[in-house]
Amino acid sequence: MKLYLIAGERSGDLHGSNLVKALKSKSSSLDLRGFGGDEMKKAGVDVFVHYEQLAFMGFVALLTNLFTIFKYISLCKNDIRQFKPDVVILIDYGGFNRRIAKFCKQHGIRVFYYITPKVWAWYQRRAFELQRNVDRMFVILPFEKQFFKEKCNWDVDYVGNPVLDAIKSFKPDPEFLAKSKIDKGKKIVALLPGSRKMELKRIVPLMAEVATKNPAYQFVVAAVNNLGEDLYGGLKDLPNVKFVVEASYDLLSIADAAIVTSGTATLETGIFKVPQVVVYKMGSIEYQLVSRLVKVKFISLVNLIAGKEVIKEMIQDNARPENVSTELNLLLNNNDYRSAMLNEYDSIYKILDTGSASENAARLMMQALG
């Protein structure tokens, strides 16, 4: 059986690799090809294009790279034609994958979508487009199932959350503190600035100012190896800042609090039961556009799943060093405040804990494929 998978980002590569492992445990005769990264390649996918060639963030970056994006869409379509898969499995990466879904529908190729584009957040009419072009949808947030049912009377499959799978399988490095030269005698604040260049350019200066304002705390940056050191700018030379590379889970397993750029990392931080404050910034024009389009009250997955404010979200002009510092000190020093947040984390964990998302999705996919 021939499966073509498309993941256009780092997280999609990780979740795609776990899905592939689950699929292969159910069938030993799978021919796997597609767009992805190192993790999917290690899992057995013949990676035609690496996601690093596709990782553009924000309206401006997308506009300035439109030619490149459409070139890869065309390459993808041609590769699917030549490969002739039994099904195309799309993994997140909404703008690109929605176009591929439409192409597949026009050419009679079955489409499964794992990890839904966030159509519930803005431009909700895209839900109807997905319904037209996708044969089976496998969602990873409990409220998404309700959204698609209410919006377009579409029964999609909630399979659980792959972030929970990844954390359950994580084994902390017992030598992490020593290797990273982190002093457990000082309060440790994890800094998770994101994994995209534009995120770092906007958030790193803020994090550097917060670290400067709080010299008694030990700040540790969760860096990624595909971004240059220069992007971590103002954090590099501060005496109370250390760096770890590709070790965010190890860091969260020992952190006392965290400052997190909005995204999947907010949920990961919550599952690790680390009190956090969320920060996010974008260009002023982009922010004006997005603020008019967004249909949800919160930006962090923790608050969206809970349906209420569990963690503070400091967005755009509100993301100032003094505001973040005030919240950080509450998270570190007010036991009642910390305990209330940790109790909410427990509730969110129970909502998400429905078994392995990868296993559930793979089982349903193989059943649908007969």
pLDDT 10s digits, 340-354: 999 999 999 999 998
Cβ 262 vs Cβ 184: under 8 Å: no
Closest to 221 measured CA to CA, from 248, 203, 261:
248
**Residue 113 CA: distances (Å) to CA of 5, 127, 156:** 10, 12, 10
56 compared with 275, residue with greater pLDDT:
275
pLDDT in tens, 98-156: 999 999 999 999 999 999 988 888 788 899 999 999 999 999 999 999 999 999 999 99
Question: What band does 166 get if pLDDT is binned at 50, 70 and 90?
Answer: confident
pLDDT at 256 over 50: yes
Superfamily covering domain 2-160+354-369:
Glycogen Phosphorylase B; (3.40.50.2000)
Residues of the chain with CATH 3.40.50.2000: 2-160+354-369, 176-352
* Eight-class DSSP state of 167: H
Q: Distance between CA 243 and CA 231 in Å, rounded? A: 13
What is the pTM (predicted TM-score) of this model? 0.83
| Residues linked to residue 279 through DSSP beta bridges, in sequence order | 261, 314
Question: Strand runs (DSSP E) across the chain, as ranges?
Answer: 2-7, 31-36, 46-50, 87-91, 110-114, 136-139, 157-158, 188-192, 218-223, 241-245, 257-261, 276-280, 313-315
Quote the distance between the C-alpha of residue 86 and its chain's center.
28
The 3-state DSSP class for residue 90 equals strand
| pLDDT on residue 206 | 95
Per-residue pLDDT at 60:
45
Determine the pLDDT at residue 62: 52
- Max Cα distance, the chain (Å): 61
pLDDT band at 283 (very low <50, low <70, confident <90, very high): low
Where does residue 292 rank: exposed (0-12), middle (13-18), buried (19+ CB within 10 A)?
A: exposed
How much is the average pLDDT of 169-194? 93
Average pLDDT for the chain: 91
CATH number of the 176-352 domain? 3.40.50.2000
